[in-house]
Structure formats: structure tokens, C-alpha cells
Amino acid sequence: MDEYNRFVDWEKMDVTVQNQDPKELTCTEFQELKQLARQGYWAKNHSLRAKVYHKLINNIPCRTVTPDANVYRDIVVKIIGKRNSGSLPLPEFVDNSLVPTYCLNAEGIGAVRKIILCIANQFPDISFCPALPSVTALLLHYSKDEAECFEKVCRILACNDPSKRLIDQTFLAFESSCMTFGDLVNKYCQAAHKLMVAVSEDVLEVYSDWQRWLFGELPMVYIARVFDVFLVEGYKVLYRVALALLKFFHKVRAGQPMESDSIQQDIRSFVRDIAKSVSPERLLEKAFAIRLFSRKEIQLLQMANEKALQQKGITVKQKSYCFSMFCVVFLRQNVHLAVHAENFKSEIVSVKEMRDIWSWIPERFALCQPLLLFTTLEHGCSLSRFYSHSEGHEPTLLLIKTTAKEVCGAYLSTDWSERRRGGNKLSFFGTGECFVFRLQPEVERYEWVIIKHPELAMTVSEPENRATQASSTLSSNSVPSDPSDRLSPFLSARHFNLPSKTASMFMAGSSECIIIGGGDGQALYLDADLNHGRTSHCNTFNNQPLCSESFQISVLEVWGFRD
């Protein structure tokens, strides 16, 4: 233990990590390493963890010229001089992040600042990296000296494997990861997301804290276990653990009054004190129980969010418009700001209800304003007019109010002009980002499940004979014989120049009808005159139907998204 003892205050450390059960690590196969990391094989042995970190980080593919320990020894005196290391100012790109002590002694805390300043000297392209202080402090625990820690952090920053994303180093990458996390919460933590929407005016501001939960608030014994797996499996692990933290927060705090005026502060406090309610093993168990998208699917979603930010011109942090860690000119433009009360008028939903819908849509489109494209009150009950006003817009929002005062609708990810690709046949198109929802009499969002549960493709009863062909198309086209050939149902294939077979099927339209189907066994069918509609409800799920099985339409509106 002596060679890794220099910077550690052992009086503050958990005694269980002081070299219990001396072990060696001989395996090199990824799957075995992955299993051992998740099980915490080296978590109880400080020296073994240091050796494993050294091995894993040395195997990271890096740029040809990556600063090493010798570079640190050459530059540290020139950069630091005789200044007191404990009071050294950190570079702007860490965004005022505090240096976690992680049971480091005074020398260790000062060494973290020295290392970060030397990294800033060697990596002038880093513009935003709030996780760096935490990563450096953690790795210093498992380094013989400052130079070795410097080299380890540099190798992580200099990783040049496009499939192995590690630490965000630009504001664009950081903000797009926050949007991606928001999308994942919306998908996998719907109960927690509903709470966030209820108590926060800006849910993305809450979700923009997600990296701080891990690299800042999480106690050392927890972040070390997370980092064990992170070095083996990569960035996706961070999303998993942050989702698990949010799930536990909702479970523990549900129904209790907020401890502060800010949900952000409450979550931070919960994560800091997580040992009171959740063990590290239980946290990781929860994280890996989430059936998350594949790494490739998450990468595509991240690309889509980055593209949306670039189109908005949001690539750097604007100092003059910032508070805390986040940029006022961006974020989600605040859910309340994204739907301006003075400019919004609907005969179906209130401003508050539209804001609720806005909290469900993908983050990259929540940057936009709602734009009314079609309403039966103004344009009449004509399906051809419905198409003519809706085509050319992607995505769109369909709202329906029935004569029985029921209100339901659908978020539709794909341009209605795609219906023409099937010729005169009624064929499904769209992506799994589509969903249907009900606002009256009760609020409910129905997740699209045909791809998750392909057996439901045959259980949804489409109304009458005109839908028979659509049902056949759904069952034959939306469930590929080999699931490995399919990318995420949440992404539009043509947005990424992917083969058409990777597209999902959700919506269909012809001159005779519109069909939107699949949400938790729900399917919506509209007649050509836009006066009548029907729904089908699969009893596989314990949920309420979208609306009456047969209904008359009072008002129908289609909304687009305006920059």
C-alpha cells in the first residue's frame, strides 16, 4: 500500500478498502473484465485497484502525441512556480467546479490543482470540462505521484477511439449530453420526470446537473465503484448510474415535502447523503437493471442533439448570459418560455397542458415554439387539407377534442409526405419517438411498444377492413427477423443516412384514413371526414384506453415546431 499512500488521508477512508483480500488480476477478455468490474472485484483492495486502473488506462488508444509523466516533470515548475498549490486558481473550463476532497490529504488537494493547470497548458482545445477536478482527484488516490496521475488523466482526455467516448471537453458535448440524459429520463424514469415537471420550471436545468451528481456530489466509495466500470465499459455507464440515482431519489422522496426551495439542491443533497438509503452495490444493481439503448443508439441520439444545438448556434457558453452552470440563452428555453402564453391559442389545450406535452417531447425539439398548422375550425374537416397543411413539417403534434370532452393526441416524428412512398397502399412509417397521450379526463402518456414487444403487433385490432392492410404491414415490416439489424426505434433512419430497413413503423395515412398505433397497446384510427374516430386497446397492459372506443371529433388541431 505504501507506493499509493502518499496523497491519502487514511483516517477518513473506509477501512474496508485497506488492502483486504490481496488479489491479482490476470484476465484480459472484455466480458470477464466487465463482470469483475461490476462485481467490485478490486474494490476492497486499494493497491489492486491502482494496478487495474494503470492497466486499463494504458490500454486506451490515444493521440500519437499524448503528454506523459516526463512532460509533467518538465513543465510543472514553469507553470506553478513558487505559488501555494492550495490556492491555485482553476482554469475557466472547469466551470467553477469544486475540487472534491475524496479523503485526500492537504498535499493531495494541492496536487489536484497543479495537475489541472498543467493539463490546461497541454490541452488548449478543452473549452468546457466540469468533470475534470473529480476525475483528477479520484485518480490521484491510485497514483504513485503527481506525474503518474497527470499521465493517466491525459490518456483519458486524449482518447482517439471514436467508439469510446469518455469525458466531455466542450460545451457542445456537455449540453448535448444533458439533452440526451433528459431524453433517457423521459423514456426510462417517467415517474421521476413527472415530478421534475411538477416542481421545476425548467426540467433541463435539473437534468443539466446530472454529471455533477456523479463527479462532485457522489461520495468517494460510490464514484470509485462507478469509475471501475466506466473504465471498462465507457460513457454509457454514467447515464445508467445517473438514471438509477434519479429513480432512488423519487422512490425515497416521493410524497415528502421538498427540503429546500430548489429540486436541484434536494437531489444534490440526496446524492451526497446516499449512504443513508442506498449501498454502492444496490446503486449499481439498479443501474444495470435498466434496459438502456445500445451504445450506438445513444451515440446517434447524442449526434441528433448536437446537431440541434449547432443549428441554434449554441456551441459555447455565453458568459454574459449565464447563471450557475447553465446558459440562459439556451437550456430548454425554459418550458414556460418555450410555450409563450401571449402567443399561444388553442381551442383544445391550455398553455399549461401544452407545456406538459412539451416536457414529453425530445429535447432537441423542445427548443422550438409551437406553430398551429391546421385546425378543423378554420380549415374544415378535410383529410386532403390536413395533409396539405401538415406536409413539409417534421415533427408534428396532433390534438383531438371529442364531443364527450375527452382530449387526446399524438407526437408524430415524421413528415406526413412519407405516406406517398407506399404508393396507393396504406403502409406504416415514422419512428419510435412517436407516442400517443391523453389529457382529459386524466393525463397519461403511452409509450410506443411494438418494437419492445413485437408480439403486440398481432394483438392490436385495427378497425374495420380498411385497416387490415395496415395491420399486415405493421406486423411484417416493423419486426425484423434479426433484431440486431435494427437501430434505435427512437431515431429516424434517413436523418443519419441509414438503410431504410432500420426505420420503425408507427403512423400511416391514405386518402381514406389515418392510423396511429402501438402506444402501450393503444391505436388511434381517424376517418377521412375527420369527424369520427375509433381506438383499440390491448389488454396486455394495465392502463386506461386512450379515449372512447368510438368517438365524434369536436376539434382537431395539428401543430408544428418553429425555431
Over residues 385-422, the pLDDT tens digits come to 999 999 999 999 999 999 999 999 999 988 999 888 87
Contact 182, 309 (CB under 8 A): no
pLDDT (0 to 100) of residue 113? 94
- How many CB atoms neighbour CB 189 within 10 A? 21
Rg (CA), the chain: 26
| pLDDT at 473 > cutoff 90 | no
Grid cell at residue 8: 491519502
Strands 550-562 and 369-375, by their bridges, are antiparallel
Rounded to an integer, the average pLDDT of 353-362 is 86
Work out the percent of the chain whose per-residue pLDDT is above 90.
44
| pLDDT at 451 > cutoff 80 | no
- 3-state DSSP call for residue 100? coil
pLDDT band at 447 (very low <50, low <70, confident <90, very high): low
- Listed ranges 29-33, 153-157, 500-504; the one with the highest mean pLDDT: 153-157
pLDDT (0 to 100) of residue 162? 81
Distance CA 549, CA 525 (A): 10
Helical H runs in 20-162? 30-39, 46-58, 69-80, 106-122, 132-141, 146-157
Task: Please give the C-alpha separations between residue 297 and each of 146, 168, 450, 496, in angstroms, as whole numbers.
Answer: 38, 18, 18, 11
Q: Please write the tens of the pLDDT for every residue from 189-204.
A: 988 988 888 888 778 8
Q: How many CA atoms lie within 13 A of 473 on its CB side?
A: 21
Rounded to an integer, the average pLDDT of 163-180 is 91
Contact 518, 447 (CB under 8 A): no
pLDDT (0 to 100) of residue 269? 94
| pLDDT at 493 > cutoff 60 | no
pLDDT (0 to 100) of residue 446? 78
Q: Which residue has the higher pLDDT, 71 or 257?
A: 71
- How many CB atoms neighbour CB 263 within 10 A? 21
Domain boundary assignment for the chain? 1-169, 171-218+233-316, 327-451+502-562
Rounded to an integer, the average pLDDT of 466-490 is 36
Rounded to an integer, the average pLDDT of 476-505 is 39
Q: How many CA atoms lie within 13 A of 492 on its CB side?
A: 14
pLDDT (0 to 100) of residue 338? 57
Rounded to an integer, the average pLDDT of 360-388 is 90
Distance CA 375, CA 557 (A): 4
Q: Which residue has the higher pLDDT, 367 or 125?
A: 125
Q: What is the pTM of this model?
A: 0.77
Minimal CA–CA distance to 515: which of 413, 402, 457, 429?
A: 429
pLDDT band at 282 (very low <50, low <70, confident <90, very high): very high
| pLDDT at 222 > cutoff 90 | yes
pLDDT (0 to 100) of residue 441? 83
Distance CA 55, CA 51 (A): 6
DSSP 91: P
Helical H runs in 189-343? 190-199, 203-207, 210-212, 220-233, 236-253, 263-272, 280-289, 295-311, 335-338
pLDDT band at 332 (very low <50, low <70, confident <90, very high): very low
Distance CA 228, CA 221 (A): 11
Least confident piece of the model among 71-75, 169-173, 328-332 = 328-332
The DSSP H or E segment spanning 408 is strand 407-412
pLDDT (0 to 100) of residue 172? 92
Distance CA 561, CA 412 (A): 12
The DSSP H or E segment spanning 378 is helix 376-379
| pLDDT at 379 > cutoff 50 | yes
Task: Please give the C-alpha separations between residue 373 and each of 122, 350, 441, 530, 539, in angstroms, as whole numbers.
Answer: 52, 17, 25, 16, 34
| pLDDT at 144 > cutoff 90 | yes
